[in-house]
Amino acid sequence: MQFGICNLSIVPLRLESSDTSELVSQVIYGDIFKVLEQRKQWSKIRLAFDKYEGWIDNKQYFEITEEQYQVINKQPLMLSSDLVEFVQDENQLLNTIVLGSSLNGLELLNHTFDGIYSDKQNPKTQIISTAFKYLNTPYLWGGKTPFGIDCSGFTQMVYKLNGYKLLRDASQQANQGEALSFIEESEPGDLAFFDNNEGDITHVGIIMKDNYIIHAHGKVRIDRLDHSGIYNSDKRMHTHKLRVIKKII
């Protein structure tokens, strides 16, 4: 089996081995993964952090050994903490990286970094302040960055930056943590999940104080939360139907 590390800022992870295939997620600088299948131009990979799978262009990652993969995978994550930063290569050229990029592979890639990073588990009270860094980020299906993000990519990255692991999709995240019976039992930083008419979990957001929620819908925005779901004051209507509240931390 082969292994790889993302040596570019933001790389698309696609459903199929084609540039026109659906974007299912993104691979961010420093992410490591197993290569499950390799073709002439594409590789099917499984990310180490959340075991998410998809196809990546062979030109957009750097091959590493299993030993190098295991060494990085056992280390506590070091994540860049500014919206946009840069790493410098051996030729003194700058490569941009985004919020939440992993810095554990710097030595392996022969890159240097002189910015702010986080490498510890923060208290739950930090969740909302981290979420605010993504405020007004445009919605992007499969996105995980301040330049475009989806609802579960948003919750995953906010938790990741604070030292906690969430799975990638909202339906997967809904199976984590402890279910709460009422909104009144929740605390800022808890997750609220919402379903469609078929009962499938399709949306997630982060609960704030005073019955507000921050979530990615059109953009990362703040709306009211009640027992029915999310009330959008701009549209003057409920946009999402509440299914369950989960305490992860």
Backbone φ, ψ for residue 105 (5° rounding) = -100, 15
Tokens read off for 206: 């982060």
- Single-letter residue type at 15: L
* 203 carries an active-site annotation: yes
- Catalytic residue, from 6, 111, 215, 240: name it: 215
* 227 carries an active-site annotation: no
Question: d(Cα 52, Cα 167) in Å, to the nearest integer?
Answer: 8
Residue with tokens 């009270």: 125
* 6 carries an active-site annotation: no
Burial environment of residue 234 by CB neighbours within 10 A (0 to 12, 13 to 18, 19 or more): exposed
Tokens read off for 167: 């799975």
Question: In this structure, are residues 43 and 61 in contact, taking their beta carbons and an 8 Å threshold?
Answer: yes
- Catalytic residue, from 6, 111, 151, 217: name it: 151
- Catalytic residue, from 111, 203, 217, 240: name it: 203
Q: In degrees to the nearest 10, what's the CA dihedral of 66, 41, 19, 148?
A: 20
3-state secondary structure of 29: coil
Active site residue ranges: 151, 203, 215
